[in-house]
Structure 1
Amino acid sequence: MDAPHDIGRRLAAALQRHAGLHGSVEGLRRLTGGATKTTWSFDLLTADGRRPMILQQTPTTTASASASASASASASVSVSASASAPPGLSAPKLDAAEDARVMIAARAHGVPAPVVLAILDVHDGLERGYVTERVEGETLGRKLVSDPAYACARGAMAAQAGAILAAIHTMPVAELHFLQRLSPAQELEVYGDLLARTGFSHPALAYAMQWVRKNLPVDWRDALVHSDFRTGNLIVGAEGIRCVLDWEIARVGDPMQDLGVLCMRTWRFGGAGEAGGFGSREDLYAAYERASGSPVDPVRVRFWEAFSNLKWAIGCVRRGLSVRADGSPASLELCAVGRRMEEPLWDFFQLIEA
């Protein structure tokens, strides 16, 4: 890995080249982050003052990236052992430039996405990635749903989330031609193929696959779907939601999917509210309908909540079975994630029985 000094020097040059910003990089530090990205926080000191920023990189050569790639390549759901996704279909995963373009489009449509300052290219010597303005706030789910400091925020967040999702779902997508369009049936086929490729079988997974197939929605309108809109991917301040993060699995599909993901028990982090652990479904749905002018379909939301639990169970299987090039387990952490498969499956069965 490059030394922070070298990264800072290249960052300053990249910001001058792409954004016309002249300054020096200070306070560069690596943050704890997701499995597939490297995140750095820094300040750009310019003649006009200090500007807080974030560098997101998508590494391709580090050991952690290799382990993550193995996990991603091996985890998905399958309808049957012989099922395979149609040519060209796969679980959506945007590259860094596409991810940034979605955020730029979202910001232009009034969605509180990060402000993108520069999209990096091969000439910058910084891996693929982008630079955004840094938004201060909290992202830790357990803290957001329980800390008294965020009590006022929790009172507003369900309505804020409903309005934000309404804005996301009315975004024009014509210029985002790289986004995959997945119908509910195609989602099932894609994730079924992923599971089949792991070679793992389990009666509860098989039953869940059959239930999803039998309950696929037959009527929906296409919209841009964030697909990972949940507590943990929101930056929150005392007043509520400040920014929506992690757009890299966005797609075009049924917008009710986003409401279902937000209501998953996994992403409530022990909070009492069915919407993200912080609020009620009623407040979420009412705000969405006010802002979008379209009714929420509670049956489709529950379907996507159940299906999303199945997808997360499949994700746990894939991570638990991921291996290094020599065939050894990718990491103890990923093995531990694999053992959590039962939690989303339990939530799935609780939902379909209700």
Structure 2
Amino acid sequence: MSEPHDTAARLAAALRRHAGLHGHVDGLRRLTGGATKTTWSFDLVAPEGRHALILQQAPALPALPASPDPVQSGPRRLATPRLAAADDARLMTVARAHGVPAPRVLAMLDVQDGLASGYITERVEGETLGRKLVNDPALAAARGAMAAQAGTILAAIHATPTQALPFLQRLSPAQELAVYGDLLERTGFRHAALAFALQWTRQHLPTGGRQTLVHSDFRTGNLIVGPEGIRCVLDWEIARIGDPMQDLGVLCMRTWRFGGTPEVGGFGARADLYAAYERASGMPVDAARVRFWEAFSNLKWAIGCVRRGLSVRADGSAASLELCAVGRRMEEPLWDFFQLIEG
């Protein structure tokens, strides 16, 4: 970002150019949170009133050991790229048009805007912090509704047509396992439990089934919640075409319950999630596939912890203390993985 005054002026110009909105920018501030994006909140003060808005930009990720960033492609090195900002915005626009509560995109930025890669959306008020969502007494009524709401929203995501989204990657479970196995191999890190988990997953890969739009990161922490429940679904940058049961499995991971007891996101019951999904989609939930994806997602997060813990700067030093701390938590999703496959 440039100096705040210059940035504000460029934002106002971009909104005039792309959205036909005239006014000046007020209250520009960077928000906390967001592992892969830089997020700014601001208001556009226009003659007709204030517009509450968000600017999102995609920063470069830290370098990882023995692995140039981007991931190499080829028969052995399959890529799992995050969506480019323009594709991310295009996906949210299509999903929203088909009933998904995705952010409303007002402007996709280009080089002429002088603001780097990104987009501007309407700002949705509400809570996103996982521990607050699962514990705050003020959100008790929301928690009572959210599992069923999540099922309905996931049904809408999985029914979203993808013909206008040719940039979406299509990954089979076997391809996704190959990606994560390769990512772990490239770190040089060796761990017997990880090796066993990879082998178990390889032996239990599901076959067949539907292929739909999959959010891939639908979980507590990526939802904006108000007193009435889920208002908006965030963080679409790793969406792809795949097994819709993956989204249900991710939502049930213990890691993303943030200390809450209920199995769905720390806020609700599987029975409510499954019933609402089946009611809205007209398709049965395959509980065994959901359990596979929950286990596999724990393995992926364990590998993600390893990679974050070993992340380095260009000079070879640790990328950050925070990432080192994440690396030390790899045993938690591994424990959850083994609990799931034994159950």
TM-score with structure 2 length normalisation?
0.96
The within-5 A match list for 1:1-354 is: 1-59=1-59, 65=60, 68-71=61-64, 74=67, 86=75, 89-354=78-343
How far apart, CA to CA, are the structure 2 residues paired with 1:126 and 1:50? Answer: 22
Amino acid at match of 1:243: C
Note the alpha carbon deviations across 1:244-282, whole angstroms, 9 max, x for none.
000000000000000000000000001111000000000
How far apart, CA to CA, are the structure 1 residues paired with 2:294 and 2:257? Answer: 13
Shift of 1:88: 7.5
- Structure 1 SS opposite 2:50: strand
Check the 8 A contact 1:24/1:45 in 2, yes or no. Answer: yes
Amino acid at match of 2:196: Y
* More displaced 10-residue stretch of structure 1: 27-36 or 318-327: 27-36
Note the alpha carbon deviations across 1:191-222, whole angstroms, 9 max, x for none.
11111111111000000000100000012110
Shift of 1:74: 4.8
Check the 8 A contact 1:75/1:195 in 2, yes or no. Answer: no
Check the 8 A contact 1:74/1:318 in 2, yes or no. Answer: no
**Structure 1 portions without partners, runs of 5+:** 60-64, 77-83
Amino acid at match of 1:18: H
How far apart, CA to CA, are the structure 2 residues paired with 1:239 and 1:37? Answer: 27
How far apart, CA to CA, are the structure 2 residues paired with 1:345 and 1:88? Answer: 24
Shift of 1:86: 2.7
Shift of 1:85: 6.5
How far apart, CA to CA, are the structure 1 residues paired with 2:263 and 2:52? Answer: 34
- Structure 2 SS opposite 1:70: coil
Aligned CA distance change for structure 1 residues 200 and 72 (closer, same or farther; 3 Å): closer
How far apart, CA to CA, are the structure 2 residues paired with 1:108 and 1:272? Answer: 34
Note the alpha carbon deviations across 1:6-39, whole angstroms, 9 max, x for none.
1110000001111111111001111012222111
- Structure 2 SS opposite 1:217: coil
Check the 8 A contact 2:62/2:319 in 1, yes or no. Answer: no
Check the 8 A contact 2:152/2:280 in 1, yes or no. Answer: yes
Check the 8 A contact 2:66/2:187 in 1, yes or no. Answer: no
Note the alpha carbon deviations across 1:106-163, whole angstroms, 9 max, x for none.
1000000000000001111101000000000000000010110000000000000000
TM-score with structure 1 length normalisation?
0.93
How far apart, CA to CA, are the structure 2 residues paired with 1:88 and 1:126? Answer: 33
How far apart, CA to CA, are the structure 2 residues paired with 1:158 and 1:210? Answer: 32
Amino acid at match of 2:211: D
Amino acid at match of 2:21: L
How far apart, CA to CA, are the structure 2 residues paired with 1:72 and 1:43? Answer: 41
User: What residue is the counterpart of 1:62 in the other structure?
Assistant: none
How far apart, CA to CA, are the structure 2 residues paired with 1:135 and 1:334? Answer: 29
Number of aligned residues: 340
How far apart, CA to CA, are the structure 2 residues paired with 1:293 and 1:71? Answer: 43
Shift of 1:339: 0.4
Aligned CA distance change for structure 1 residues 309 and 299 (closer, same or farther; 3 Å): same
How far apart, CA to CA, are the structure 2 residues paired with 1:71 and 1:114? Answer: 31
Aligned CA distance change for structure 1 residues 75 and 233 (closer, same or farther; 3 Å): farther
Amino acid at match of 2:287: P
Amino acid at match of 1:292: S
Check the 8 A contact 2:129/2:221 in 1, yes or no. Answer: yes
How far apart, CA to CA, are the structure 1 residues paired with 2:210 and 2:63? Answer: 34
How far apart, CA to CA, are the structure 1 residues paired with 2:196 and 2:77? Answer: 27
